[in-house]
Amino acid sequence: MATITYREALNQALAEEISRDDQVVLMGEEVAQFKGSYKVSEGMLEKFGPDRIIDTPISEAAFSGLAVGAAMMGMRPVVEFMFWSFCYVAFDQIFNNAANVRYMSGGLINVPIVFRGPANGGTNVGATHSHTPENFAANTPGVKVICPATPADAKGMLKSAIRDNDPVCMMENTILYNLQGEVPEEDEFLVPLGKANVIREGKDLSIIAHGKSVHTALQVAETLEEKHRVSVEVVDLRSIRPLDVETILSSVRKTNRVLLVEENKPFCGVDAQIAFIIQDQAFDHLDAPVKRVSAIDVPQAYSKTLESFQIPDHDRVLAKAMELL
């Protein structure tokens, strides 16, 4: 095990898979000479050359669609979005073309592609750059959606995503890029998609979260343990589609109380689906209604003060947890 950052974990995953498979390329804005807008691809141009690490113009529809076309022909492109917010100008290429080609061709064509990049608020960049589209990506059958929260998962899940024969949307978080964590060093370290991680065991309350919310949940669990002697279980979803329904349900059956936390907006958000599944399949195990904390339901605010109110933080999650106890 080595302790590295989330950013370094992504870099290792990309480098290992590009070395392993000659059909894997990384393309996107500023990924090569600039070393990545968030330095995820630092050193990779020097190592792999411009045929494998490809700077694109600011032209998401063209390079996303180009990568989908190349994937249909058998390549395995990794497309980096500087922000997932920018996928909106390439929406047709991802959610019509990549997502539907397999189905519409009766299974004749696969699209082994990864779209990845940060999808988060909290950095005071305003509404256009702060989208968290995991919910509507996951609303599209044909794509898979993952949101790793730790350096180990960032590496292991990105490697799995690149080897996956279906389109994968991987949503990262700029605030997590400097997060340090232990990551296994072997080349074949793979974290399968669709497997949630019970990151903290507990017996009184389940907090289910994904992405950066997992870390907020862990802080709240600490507080509840220390100040209120409440034992909190934290489930890190890791993957949105496929979704580890079994792990969610077994945690609910164990604690009988559940709080869902996400930085996504609430309406038709990921947790809306999860709340439905819980009431549908574990109703008799609930001692309280399912509660939920999400981003405040307005466009993402610029001002630091406003945005810090908007995104679920320790105190807001704690207050909601207390309602359940």
Contact residues for other proteins, defined by CB under 8 A: 25, 51, 56-57, 59, 61-75, 92-93, 96-97, 101-110, 112, 141-142, 144, 160, 163-166, 190, 192-196, 239, 241-246, 273, 277
- For the chain, the maximum distance between any two Cα atoms, rounded to a whole number of angstroms, is 58
Q: Which of 17, 60, 172, 262 is catalytic?
A: 60
Give least dist CB 208 to other proteins, A.
14
Question: Measuring CA to CA, which residue among 162, 120, 119 is closest to residue 26?
Answer: 162
Q: Which of 8, 16, 29, 129 is catalytic?
A: 129
Residue 184: asked if its preceding bond is cis (omega within 30°), the reply is no
Give least dist CB 186 to other proteins, A.
17
Q: How far is CA 108 from CA 77, 104, 111, 117, in A?
A: 19, 9, 10, 29
Give least dist CB 135 to other proteins, A.
13
Annotated catalytic residue 233: no
Question: Measuring CA to CA, which residue among 75, 35, 70 is closest to residue 55?
Answer: 35
Question: Is the CB of 56 or the CB of 264 nearer to other proteins?
Answer: 56
Annotated catalytic residue 42: no
Contact status, residue 261 vs residue 216, Cβ threshold 8 Å = yes
Give dist(CA 240, CA 210) in Å, integer: 8
Question: Is the CB of 37 or the CB of 97 nearer to other proteins?
Answer: 97
Question: Is the CB of 105 or the CB of 180 nearer to other proteins?
Answer: 105
At 87, list the tokens.
């996928």
At 46, list the tokens.
């020097």
Give least dist CB 47 to other proteins, A.
18
Question: Is the CB of 67 or the CB of 224 nearer to other proteins?
Answer: 67
Give dist(CA 235, CA 218) in Å, integer: 10
Instruction: Show which residues are catalytic.
Output: 60, 129
